[in-house]
Amino acid sequence: MTAMRAALLLLLVACGRDPARAPKARVSLTPDAGVAAAAAVAPPSDGCTLVDHPLQRAQPARLVAIGDVHGDLAATRHALRLGGAIDADDRWIGGELVVVQTGDILDRGSGEQEILELFERLEGEAAKAGGAFVWLLGNHELMNSAGDFRYVTDGGWADFADAPGVDPARPDLKDALAGATDEVKARAAAFLPGGPYADMFAGQDVATIVGDAVFSHAGFLSTWTADVTAMNRSARCWLDGQGATPAVLEDSDGPVWTRAWGGAEVDCARLREVLGALGVARMVVGHTPQDTGINSACDGALWRIDTGMSSAYGGPVQVLELTPTGGRALSD
């Protein structure tokens, strides 16, 4: 985290500002302690040992995309069932179905731990059935791993106080978290690089391509199209405790932050340039809640799938079904 970003975060916390309409963290929990602890995690200097994931998957017979869920377990289950991925017992029934979830699992809700554990299990079950469950990193996953806890709810703080594998007494965080509450210590130990949930994130990518569509949390601008595999790697290595803070966390125009594709006005020529650089025909993004639900722009070249389905926003539960010739929103 750059000094400028850390200073801005501390200022926002001190002033009680809430630019993203999120519930404020309780002042007594001092979320800035997480920032200090994140800065204290020193990456090793011997290089990253993680193996890169394949960037591209072939077009499956059936492809479904799910947007931001923000800690709402009920909405997450609802979306997965709408897409034909799970049964009433949360077991994979999708067969060769490919599901892509575009990040922002964390914050604004209290079901985070159960969602993460569900996603980890579905990843394995889908693979065994010949399908795939792909969940990407959003800005809120990276924020928590950088110690930015502004949008943690009361339930979210409590959720990781007794999470399996979490050691609130992590030796590398001892000094940075001196005086912090037990809940801050637990969440920091869970999500800061090298922690058990950061390690879980290190198994995921920022972006992926399935068939002719690129998926990321917020979408690409041309400045980020040169080497997507390297971008994924830098985020994963950092999360695993094997690298420096990735540029994708810091860049407000990057694939987890940009608002270029979420608003009413979209520059379709700019979009075509980006798609051409990536060698795809379509882009699928979350990040910006859509008042009208799932929708497309630029003759179907852009799909926006953040419906604000979590209880924090109260939007409809919808998922996107993509075919080589188009897409449609699935809802009750």
DSSP secondary structure of 32-89? HHHHHHHHH-PPPSS---PPPPPSEEPPPS-EEEE---TT-HHHHHHHHHHTT-B-TT
Given the residues 70, 140, 217, 287, the one annotated as active site: 140
Residue (of 276, 314, 323) closest to 296 by Cα position:
323
Tell the burial category of 70 from Cβ atoms under 10 Å away from its Cβ (0-12, 13-18, 19+).
buried
**Alpha-carbon 312 to chain mean position:** 16
**How wide is the angle at C-alpha 263 spanned by C-alphas 285 and 108, nearest 5°?**
60
Type and span of the H or E element at 330: strand 326-330
140 a catalytic residue: yes
Rg (CA), the chain: 19
Residue of 57, 187, 68 whose CA lies nearest to 130: 57
Catalytic residue IDs: 140
